[in-house]
Amino acid sequence: MGKVRHVLGISGGKDSAALAIYMKQNYPELDIEYYTSDTGKELQDTYDLIENLENFLGKEIIKLPSLSDDTLNPFDHYIKMYNGFLPGSMSRWCTKKLKLEPFEKFVGDDLVISYVGIRGDEDREGYISKKSNIQSIFPFRKNIFSEDVTTKFLSNTNINNVLKYYEALNLGEKRERIFEVINEEISINFSQTQKLNRLLDLGIAIYNQAVFQFLQITDYPLSKESEFPLINNEEILVRDDIFKILEESGVGVPAYYKAIEFEVNGKKSTYARSRSGCFFCFYQQKIEWIWLYEQHPDLFLKAMEYEKEGYTWIQDESLAELVQPERIEKIKEEYIKRKERKKSKQQSPYLLDILDDAEGEGCASCFI
């Protein structure tokens, strides 16, 4: 199979871009391949970010997917194939055809470490390939390993092996407490998450070193690596860190994250976009559709053109209904009320106080 490949997907959003910068700055010895899944329906800000990243990285970001049909962009190619059937939360064919399948074709049967930009302040796992040759690593989190690895490592049937791995490490004064935690079996009263967090609290690097030893007897790609620099990484990066990385690197924050002021019935507020991805992503909030309508009316009209024969982007109304003046007014008023309920949170030029609840929604493979 050859050497292990290291890959990192660029979604066009803040987290994956910051991860690419972070990995180049902190682990330049890793030969990372960068790729992006271009649906052909991204905002120009996304393409600008990718160009800026290529300049910073000094390396091409490979564009996926490649299609034999040169007359249509990737999304239009598949919308034609599906006879105009729009993707939605219950039928995410766009994720499968434009993200997952191109990625798995790109890596083939090679052994691959895939770096994923889920932050330390997020409570989600992200996409984990079902292919055994692909292993996900999460550098921004306290636990850099994926859920499947964690489950196997902390399994009650693996306790003796875990004790052996830790025995070989320099545990210092925490030794007795660490062994107590390891020996306590996972049960209704002591969950896997609790056990994981207690071990991590007793030493992130120590935990990583033990897991790395465990991986050597598995079929995961890391079993083929004699060393892995990230096992000594104890940094936990949250959202503020991400924006700082983007700004200080010179790559910059995508313009669609920055708040724009609007006024409705004498009240002023701001709106923006909470995610990367297609400009007509069905996971975006209604206030984000209004942002698109008012800031990029040409793209909004293009999104409207896809709505026909009963297919709509939003389950309960069409885009034509959404942008009726009285409906826009109501959406903005409801949005302001939501924002006022969150006044205790720190205000941000990137609108993090109101759109943060939407960030974890949708398909992780699109937004990480």
**Predicted pLDDT of residue 89:** 81
Q: Provide the pLDDT for residue 116.
A: 94
Q: Is the pLDDT of residue 360 over 70?
A: no
Average pLDDT, the chain: 89
Pairwise CA distance, residues 342 & 31, whole Å: 43
161 or 121: which carries more pLDDT confidence?
Answer: 161
Is the pLDDT score of 354 beyond 60? no
- Answer yes or no: pTM beyond 0.85: yes
Q: What is residue 352's predicted lDDT score, i.e. its pLDDT?
A: 47
Q: How far apart are CA 154 and CA 241, in angstroms?
A: 30
**Within 13 Å and on the Cβ side, how many CA atoms surround 246?**
23
For 180, counting Cβ atoms within 10 Å of its Cβ (0-12 exposed, 13-18 middle, 19+ buried), the class is: exposed
pLDDT of residue 310: 77
Residue 344: pLDDT above 90?
Answer: no
The CA-based dihedral angle spanning residues 222, 233, 274, 66, taken in that order and rounded to the nearest 10 degrees: -30
Q: Is the pLDDT at 22 greater than 80, yes or no?
A: yes
Exposed/middle/buried for 343, CB within 10 Å: 0-12, 13-18, 19+? exposed
Using an 8 Å Cβ cutoff, are 278 and 86 in contact?
A: no
pLDDT tens for 126-140 read 666 678 899 999 999
Q: What are phi and psi of 168, to 5 degrees?
A: -85, -5
**202, 174 in Cβ contact below 8 A?**
yes
pLDDT at 345 over 80: no
Region 76-87 average pLDDT? 88
Do residues 339 and 285 lie in contact, with contact meaning Cβ atoms separated by under 8 Å?
A: no
- Would residue 40 be called left, alpha or beta, if left means φ above 0 and alpha means ψ between -120 and 50 degrees? left
**Per-residue pLDDT, 160:** 97
CB atoms within 10 A of CB 68: 5
Report the Cα 77 to chain-centroid distance in Å. 25
Following CA atoms 339, 341, 342, 348 in sequence, which dihedral angle do they give, to the nearest 10 degrees? Answer: 30
Q: Give residues with Cβ within 8 angstroms of 323, minimum separation 6.
A: 290, 293, 300
> Can you tell me the distance from the alpha carbon of 159 to that of 31, in angstroms, rounded to the nearest whole number?
35
Whether pLDDT at 173 is above 90: yes
Residue where the block lists tokens 């470490």: 113
Residue with more model confidence, 358 or 309: 309
> Is the preceding omega at residue 65 within 30 degrees of 0, hence cis?
yes
